[in-house]
Structure 1
Amino acid sequence: MKLLLLGATGSVGGRTLELALSNDAFSEVTAPTRKPLAPNGRLVNPITSRLEELAPALMARRPDAVICALGTTQAKAGSKEAFRYVDYELPIVFGKAAHTAGVGTYAIVSAMGASPGSMSFYYRTKGEVERDIQEIGFRSLTICRPSLIGGKRNEARAAEGAALSLLRLLAPILPKKFHVNPADVIAATLLESIIVAKRGCHWIYAEEMT
């Protein structure tokens, strides 16, 4: 099958890319990024600074499934608007483009605590993208809701690093839903979800990805 992967330079997206390229289930992985990725015979790597502008060309490659592992923080993005562009607007733009192009399978990384009614801008945005991606009408939709994500990142997040260390220390006494979710496990879960492609909308929660 052909996979379109959004967010291939992030922690989860990077591991998803590695696992997909080593899995014979995937004949082609298209992963648009800002900077070139390491070459691979099955990798198509368009370079762009405005991801949404590539949507028509990417859909012309006729992917069988889309995985959206896009995600940032307000501190890194620089503003609420810039954060919302990455975590809400792009997933919805590509969701609509994919559905229009006949793609029936979509998987997205959200967050534990996502709710459109949340007082937190971060969790409210995640809840809104969950709500609106469901309205598009995919035959198979998977929404992963991890807790804090463990694994290598391309940028330092000091507060998140401290929280990860604390969660690992307290793991023996914490409920499983508060354990660290390794990027490897989330990536494998995403790939399994699009290979199986169960009909309907399915949530996969943090305690299932420890």
Structure 2
Amino acid sequence: MPYQVILVGASGLIGSHLLYTLIESAEISRILLVLRKPLNISISKVHELIVNFDELEHFSAEIKGDIMFSCLGTTKAATPDSGQYRKIDFEYPLGLAEIGIRNGVSQFHLVSSFGADASASNSYLKLKGELENELKKLSIPSLHIYQPSLLTGKRKESRLLEKFAISAFKLIDPLLTGPLKKFRSIRAETVARAMLNQSLKELKGTFIYPSIQIQELA
């Protein structure tokens, strides 16, 4: 049956690819974009809900669908304020998941990170791990967590260190074989395709996909 989906983070690297993938899919009948600023997309099955993410509960009655995809995320460089950083990477996705469950969302798909671990010394990986743990506590009927390694693809903003890393990985990736294959970089559109594919399988339970498995699922 056709699905109505909710996509948060559609302006980001993975989110923008996922939006295109959802639009192209005949299995998706309606796409609700939860946004801070409008994208002004003129496609009949795409609907935009402009919200204040600090007041998500005020918009909860409109955040409805069968499947929710969260591609929210930021970096320390883009969001140096630690409080705002935590909101974007932890509080907003968790709040959206809670609203979705109340409104009958049966699937929640989260873009996390390779190495996410609540006990990690790295603050980025620690926060991602904490979010994963909190989502698991919500008893979501179908929870899917994607842990991609270094993402490749064209971003709107410039990240010099990331560009250097991507260039380096183009040379390194072919050398990463066997157990090291899990460290290979991954294209954003590959993650997006895997997310759509898994959402159409109607799986029940909690699923965590490391980067190497995401490649296979796409």
Root-mean-square deviation (Å): 1.5
Report the counterpart of residue 47 of structure 1 in structure 2: 50
From 188, 193, 201, give the equivalent of 1:188: 193
TM-score w.r.t. length of structure 2 = 0.91
Report the counterpart of residue 155 of structure 1 in structure 2: 157
Report the counterpart of residue 74 of structure 2 in structure 1: 72
Q: Is 1:200–2:205 an aligned residue pair?
A: yes
Residue 75 of structure 1 and its aligned partner are, at CA, apart by 1.3
Residue 53 of structure 1 and its aligned partner are, at CA, apart by 2.8
Letter in 1 for 2:118: P
Letter in 2 for 1:185: T
Q: Is 1:209–2:211 an aligned residue pair?
A: no
In the aligned structure 1, how far is the partner of 2:197 from the partner of 2:84? 31
Residue 45 of structure 1 and its aligned partner are, at CA, apart by 1.0
Q: Cα deviation per residue 1:165-189 (whole Å; 9 max; x = unaligned)?
A: 1111111111221111111110011
- Are the aligned partners of 1:69 and 1:109 in contact in 2 as well (CA < 8 Å)? yes
- Are the aligned partners of 1:150 and 1:183 in contact in 2 as well (CA < 8 Å)? yes
Corresponding residue SS for 1:70: coil
TM-score w.r.t. length of structure 1 = 0.94
In the aligned structure 2, how far is the partner of 1:176 from the partner of 1:6? 30
Q: Structure 1 unaligned runs (5+)? A: none
Report the counterpart of residue 11 of structure 1 in structure 2: 13
- Are the aligned partners of 1:74 and 1:82 in contact in 2 as well (CA < 8 Å)? no
Q: Mean Cα displacement is larger for which, 168-177 or 9-18?
A: 168-177
Report the counterpart of residue 32 of structure 1 in structure 2: 34
- Are the aligned partners of 1:168 and 1:179 in contact in 2 as well (CA < 8 Å)? no
Q: In 2 relative to 1, CA 18–99 (structure 1 residues): closer, same or farther, beyond 3 Å? A: same
